[in-house]
Amino acid sequence: MENIIEVNNLYKGYRIYNRQLDRIKDMINLFKKYYRVKWALRDINFKINKGESIGVVGVNGSGKSTLLQILANTVYPTKGEVKVNGRIGALLELGAGFSREFTGRENIYLNGMIMGMTKEEIDEKLEEIISFAELGEYIDQPVRTYSNGMYIRLAFSIAINIDPDILLVDEVLAVGDGYFQAKCYKRIKELREKGVTIFFVSHDMTTVRLVTEKTIFLHKSRLLEFGKTENVVNKYISYLSRRDGHLITEKGINKFGIEKIKYGTYEVEIIKAILKDSSNKEKYEFIEGENCILEVSIKVNKIIENPFNVEFIIKDKYQNDVGGTNTHFLNMPIRTNKEGEIIKVIFNFKLDIVFGSYFITLSLHEGESNLMRSYEVLENAIHFEVGMGYPRFIGHTKLDIKCEVK
């Protein structure tokens, strides 16, 4: 398969001066450095095939935006090689590439020409760009009069309508309203189906899972992981939960190719977790709409001053969150009384979800989520199946629908 992007031994560093005078000294004295280098990217290597959709995740400052800027050729690497084979449509920083004094229409021509289009090509696409941006009469007003949302609508419309081979999208889509975001994600899906290569930076892991098939995890300017989106996103979420010093104590891959990870501080610990049916019999194969009981047994290894919470999240085979809750949301926080005691938490719910394979992630944590202090997290701990029921329904969730014909 053809490589549309190839990155080899990529480094990007910025010179940091302690004071302005050091800049002048550095220009004059060729034998002494008056700066230190802050590396935004270090030793980055990957290859992307034509038509692949790639997510980029990492905490702020990890190098995500710098990577996209280098791919877009708006920032140059310090060293290394970047090969890009195709026309790029880029939606990076807000208003980048716009002249504030130009009208929206004039900026369409300006951006189109920057992206390598001829005037004749822009003329053909002009009405389509204006229509998608939905700016109305504002299209002939200076863009300095535009709101952030109007900037994004125009920039995205230009980026997707120049017939790009590669579309680079940074977090800026979050600025748009819900309607426009949905419209953008629909168009991104259409571009994927046409074979456009997508690079998508976001802090929204649900969207990354929906939009991309592979994901890059950048950490402290290095490429920490690159692979299937569900596995990389799980690793990233695990990292977010473990930033206070938690270590992965167990890791494996189940038969579906999905990672099972265990980590925590273990003041409280899950010793058993099972599913049961309504007759209290252990079971892992259900029918749509059947009642299910999740029973979690917890051992107290150390008294905790603050109450803790038990959480479960059902995920599908693509690692999308299907549903779940925790004792914090149910207003049932749990206190520890003595070391060695066993606490049993029982969740009872109906499996009003479409047939398929599902996994349950369990966590014991302080506060409302395991992004707070995690005592134990078991990712993809339980696998179960849901078989086809009746009546049939559309989508992922079975709604309690009554129908009447008059």
Q: Give the type of residue at 10.
A: L
Q: Which two tokens stand for residue 204?
A: 């929204």
Per the listing, tokens 């959480």 go with 311
Degrees to nearest 5, angle at CA 64 with 379 and 186? 75
pLDDT for residue 70: 92
Q: Which two tokens stand for residue 103?
A: 């009208």
Q: Are 260 and 101 in contact (CB under 8 A)?
A: no
User: How far apart, in whole angstroms, are the C-alpha atoms of residue 174 and residue 26?
Assistant: 41
Task: Provide the 3-class DSSP secondary structure of residue 26.
Answer: helix
The owner of tokens 């999308």 is 320
Give the distance between the most distant pair of CA atoms in the chain. 90
Contact status, residue 196 vs residue 165, Cβ threshold 8 Å: yes
Stretch (H or E) spanning 114: helix 104-114
CA dist 34 to 11, 12, 41, Å?
20, 19, 21
> Domains of the chain (ranges plus CATH)?
50-229 (3.40.50.300), 242-387 (2.70.50.60)
* CB-based contacts of 183, cutoff 8 Å, min separation 6: 132
Query: HEC profile for 170-204?
Result: CHHHHHCCHHHHHHHHHHHHHHHHCCCEEEEECCC
Listed in sequence order, the residues at least 6 apart from 252 whose beta carbon sits closer than 8 Å to its beta carbon are: 259, 260
Q: Is the dihedral of CA 28, 31, 33, 37 positive or negative?
A: positive
Q: In angstroms, rounded to a whole number, what is the distance separating the alpha carbons of residues 98 and 118?
A: 18
User: Each residue's pLDDT tens digit in the chain (406 positions)?
Assistant: 578 999 999 999 988 888 888 777 777 776 777 778 889 999 999 999 999 999 999 888 899 989 998 998 888 999 999 999 988 887 776 556 678 889 989 989 888 887 778 888 888 888 888 888 888 888 999 988 888 778 888 888 888 887 789 988 887 666 556 677 777 888 888 888 888 999 998 887 777 888 899 999 999 899 989 998 888 887 787 677 655 445 555 666 666 667 778 888 899 999 999 999 999 999 999 999 999 999 999 999 999 989 999 999 999 887 788 999 999 999 999 999 999 999 999 999 999 999 989 999 999 998 887 666 789 989 889 999 999 888 888 888 888 888 899 9
What is the model's pLDDT at position 178? 65
Nearest to 104 by CA among 179, 170, 158, 171: 158
Distances, alpha carbon 1 to alpha carbons 48, 51, 107, 125, in Å: 10, 10, 36, 30
Q: Which amino acid is at 223?
A: L
pTM check: above 0.95: no
Q: How far apart are CA 59 and CA 56, in angstroms?
A: 10
φ/ψ of 397, rounded to 5, equals -120, 135
Closest CA to 288 of 401, 360, 403, 385: 385
Under a CB-based contact definition with an 8 Å cutoff, are residues 64 and 207 in contact?
Answer: no
